[in-house]
């Protein structure tokens, strides 16, 4: 099993964060993790509105979020648990994540909610 790699906070690049969140489905998954503030299992995101997300796409979304430094993933048996790195990213790039999630929330007419974590 391949190890899960997480960039150190100093290696997080704005372009990777923007790329990761430039997909609305991936941004919604990340908003879910950031808003939950507790450990989220991959399976909690198996649907996006009415649409079911195939497992392979879901893994790919999590990998891109992880590589960008936005989430931390841990294997627990057959499960993958993900937590947000909002707190760390916000220290490095103040206001970036909130502005992005707020823009999406505004475009879809929803509220934004980021829990106090990581």
Interface mask toward a second copy for 5-34; x: CB under 8 A: --------xxx-xxx-xxxx--x-------
Given candidates 44, 63, 87, 102, which one binds a second copy under the rule CB under 8 A?
Answer: 102
Residue 75 burial (C-beta neighbours within 10 Å; 0-12, 13-18, 19+): exposed
Under the criterion CB under 8 A, does residue 67 sit at the interface with a second copy? no
Contact pick of 39, 44, 96, 112 for a second copy (by CB under 8 A): 96
* Residue 90 near residue 97 (C-beta atoms within 8 A): yes
Which has the closest alpha carbon to 52: 62, 43, 64, 60?
43
- Identify whether the C-beta of residue 82 lies closer than 8 Å to the C-beta of residue 72: yes
Q: Does 75 bind a second copy (CB under 8 A)?
A: no
Question: Rule CB under 8 A: which residues touch a second copy?
Answer: 13-15, 17-19, 21-24, 27, 92-96, 98-100, 102-104, 106-107
């Amino acid at each position: 099993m391949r190890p899960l790699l997480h960039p150190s906070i100093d290696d997080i690049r704005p372009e990777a964060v923007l790329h990761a969140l430039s997909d609305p489905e991936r941004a919604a998954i990340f908003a879910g993790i950031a808003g939950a503030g507790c450990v989220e299992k991959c399976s909690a995101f198996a649907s996006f509105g009415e649409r079911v997300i195939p497992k392979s796409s879901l893994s790919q979304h999590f990998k891109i979020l992880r590589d960008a430094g936005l989430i931390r993933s841990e294997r627990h048996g057959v499960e993958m648990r993900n937590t947000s790195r909002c707190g760390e990213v916000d220290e490095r790039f103040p206001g970036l994540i909130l502005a992005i999630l707020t823009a999406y929330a505004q475009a879809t007419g929803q509220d934004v909610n980021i829990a106090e974590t990581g």
